[in-house]
Amino acid sequence: MNFELAEQCGINPFEILDLYQQTNDYAHVILDSDKAPFSIRLEKLLGDDIWDFNLLILDRIEILPEYRGHGIGLLTLISLIQRFGEGAGIVGIKPFPLQFEPTKHRKSSEWTKSLRLGDLTRERKKASDKLKRYYGKLGFVEMKSTPFMFFNTAWALPSVEQLRAEKLID
């Protein structure tokens, strides 16, 4: 979400987030008004050192069963943040276990079948808490009473060596 460019063009940040339901959900959590770049609540959560008034939203990450449990998700997140996070002050994610998606919304493609989401736990709280802990290993922090977690790009991401030393990746 390039809020800086939108502002230069006279477009309100709420209008940008309102384009899609997935992004609209972020609007009232990260924006207070037209006057401040980010909400006071978000600034308190992430600190005053938010460098840029842009937002990277990582909406969906899918890992095939044979690659789960090896830290591939963490490496993927790091790569996505490094690749697409330039100019973004904040990265937002909504940790949602895909096995709880309504099946009518899932495509019945070979890819979707290969994810074997039905094999994953059916305990919603356990699965959500596990994802939150997982993302927390990279520094994402949970915004209480919302479904979101955020990362301040002013913070350092762990290196591959650090992840290996902590046995978070193989």
Cβ atoms < 10 Å from Cβ of 45 = 20
Q: What is the pLDDT of residues 41-93, one digit of tens each?
A: 898 999 877 888 889 999 889 899 999 888 999 999 999 999 999 889 999 99
The CA–CA distances, whole Å, from 58 to 40, 43, 122, 167 equal 22, 19, 24, 24
Q: What is the pTM of this model?
A: 0.88
Cα dihedral value 143, 82, 20, 99, nearest 10 = -70
Q: In what helix (H) or strand (E) does residue 39 lie, and over which residues does it extend? A: none
Q: Where is pLDDT greater, at 14 or 92?
A: 92
Backbone phi, psi, residue 33, to 5°:
-155, -175
Residue 33 pLDDT level (bands cut at 50, 70, 90): low
Q: What is the pLDDT of residues 84-95, one digit of tens each?
A: 998 899 999 999
Domain boundaries, the chain: 3-165
Q: Which two tokens stand for residue 117?
A: 């989401």
